[in-house]
Amino acid sequence: MFQSAINQYLNTHKHSSLPLKAVLFDMDGVLFDSMPYHANAWHTIMEERGLHLSKEEAYLHEGRTGSGTINLICQRQFGRDATEKEIEEIYKAKTAAFNSHPLAEKMEGSWEVLTKVKRDGLFSMVVTGSGQATLLNRLNENFPDTFKSELMVTAFDVKYGKPNPEPYLMALNKGSLKANEAIVVENAPLGVQAATAAGIFTIAVNTGPLDNQVLLDAGANVLFPSMQAFCDSWEDLLKEFNSASSLS
């Protein structure tokens, strides 16, 4: 399964090999089991303002900047962009609603796979559409000696955000990486679209309620049902990447 996916990627992007140097991780739904809290917060705050965004739909917008999500719903419902004041007020309220939940736990298998990545001589980066300080501040606490702040890409860094490839192109630039020197781990269709548009081999982990086909249709090269399943398959996957490079 992995070999055919890798060969298809190499043929599509005209690369001869995948000499991996880094793994780029989304944060919500990949490193932290935080998406149920995000979905609930978005739904609650939108409904209070007469805007309709179901918890299920919130997963489809995961990875989009907060202002992007608010604008999209306003355009759909009112036929106009949200004002700067509306964006500020809604996102502030959404942040407060999110922070009212218990601290999100680490996603099962996330620390273990990060440890394996480091063990195998690769470095890890975070590429997130989130601007939630409570989660960003916990990265070093929960995943010590793993992420460098200067190599992170967050909502504060980007203009467009996912599904635009900008966040992942920025990550490649920050990490001094070529597109075939990294892989992406994403759980959201918009994140998968962004990563594939940046030309990076993309692994989807379906940690939410979406149908698998949504992530595959977004362009995922390989799909796992959980971070733990990805962690358990890491050695086999890396072996195939190394094999593809050695044959080039």
CATH of the domain at 204: 3.40.50.1000
Asked if 234 and 153 sit in the same domain, the reply is yes
Cα–Cα distance, 169 to 218 (Å, whole number): 18
Residues 122 and 230 in one domain: yes
Regarding whether 123 and 44 lie in a shared domain, the answer is no
Do 181 and 64 fall within a single domain? no
| 46-83 tens-digit pLDDT | 999 999 999 989 998 887 888 889 999 999 999 999 99
Together in a domain, 231 and 160: yes
Looking at residue 157, its pLDDT comes to 86
**Range(s) of the domain holding residue 94:** 35-99
Q: Tell me, what amino acid is at 160?
A: Y
Average pLDDT over the chain reads 93
Q: Is the pLDDT of residue 248 over 70?
A: no
Q: Is the same domain home to 71 and 140?
A: no
Q: What is the pLDDT of residues 187-237, one digit of tens each?
A: 999 999 999 999 999 999 999 999 999 999 999 999 999 999 999 999 999
Domain identity same for 117 and 227: yes
Of 8-22, 123-137, 149-163, 197-211, which range is least confident?
123-137
Looking at the fold, whether 130 and 182 belong to one and the same domain comes out as yes
Domain match, 194 and 131 both: yes
Position 211 scores a pLDDT of: 94
Residue 135 scores a pLDDT above 70: no
Tell me the β-bridge partners of 124: 23
Final residue of a structural domain among 80, 99, 118: 99
Reported confidence tier of residue 132, pLDDT bands at 50, 70, 90: low
